[in-house]
Amino acid sequence: MTTLSTEPADVLKRRAQRFASKGELRKAALALRERAAILGDAASWVMAGAMLRRARRDDEAIEALRQGLWLHERAGAAGRARSVANVLRELAPDDRLARRYAKAS
């Protein structure tokens, strides 16, 4: 028997997956953004940004992706920061932070 975690971040991730599978992308994005606020890690912010992008909430997606990129940069994960920058440049081609990382590749 599999026991599901009751940690708030895990609950929010499962909730987001459930909403996304039903096509309720905005609700999924909200759950992931809440998860990112709890955990504060780069991966959570990038997941939230990607879901916000799918939900066509571009301004919010840009902010979440920028936060994820900054956190990857602080953690010394330059390759991950470049990957996020490439996604960010699709949404905001003139974003200075994204351009700086794209040039680094």
List the alpha helices (DSSP H) in 1-105: 8-21, 25-39, 42-54, 58-74, 78-91, 96-104
Contact 52, 33 (CB under 8 A): yes
Considering the chain, what percentage of its residues have pLDDT values greater than 90? 82
Which amino acid does the sequence have at 24? E
R_g of the chain computed on alpha carbons: 14
* Alpha carbons 81 and 8: distance in angstroms, whole number: 26
Residue 25 pLDDT > 70, yes or no?
A: yes
- Residues with Cβ within 8 Å of residue 74, at least 6 apart in sequence: none
CB atoms within 10 A of CB 1: 2
Residue reference for tokens 């599901």: 4
Predicted TM-score (pTM) of this structure: 0.89
- How confident is the model over 76-90, as a mean pLDDT? 93
Considering the chain, what percentage of its residues have pLDDT values greater than 70? 95
